[in-house]
Amino acid sequence: MADKISNMSDETLNDEEKAIVLTCGVPAKFHTTVVVIMQTGQLNDYQHCITSLANEEVHQNKNNNQQQDSSNEKAFTAGHCGNNQGCG
């Protein structure tokens, strides 16, 4: 989801608008993270939103040693973790 939004033209949406689109479209399991982003005043920082949601996804996936189904797919990390693409 983050990749699709990132690929939008910068002229179409600014970073704050991208962050709002991203955070409005997340599954319920990410709502606490979205609230934290909003309450810390980081909603205008798109990269911060992506990083926070990706970190939460990695955290949740490590805690859930279950098979991923289509409703619980990796929406933010897309198979890699962090900027250096290493996981724990």
Q: Which pTM does this prediction carry? A: 0.63
Give the closest residue to 41 by CA, choosing from 52, 30, 27: 52
Give the integer Cα–Cα distance in Å for 2 and 15. Answer: 12
Give 87's DSSP letter.
-
Any domain includes 13: yes
Supply the pLDDT for residue 4. 61
Supply the pLDDT for residue 25. 87
Any domain includes 21: yes
Supply the pLDDT for residue 10. 53
Any domain includes 47: yes
Counting the structural domains of the chain, the total is 1
pLDDT tens-place values along the chain, 88 residues long = 666 655 655 567 888 888 888 899 899 999 999 999 999 999 999 999 999 999 999 998 887 755 455 455 666 666 555 555 555 4
Any domain includes 60: yes
Any domain includes 30: yes
Q: Which CA distances in Å does 1 have to 7, 18, 21, 69?
A: 10, 11, 10, 16
Any domain includes 62: yes
Supply the pLDDT for residue 51. 94
* Boundaries of domain holding 41: 2-72
Supply the pLDDT for residue 32. 95
Supply the pLDDT for residue 12. 78
Any domain includes 85: no
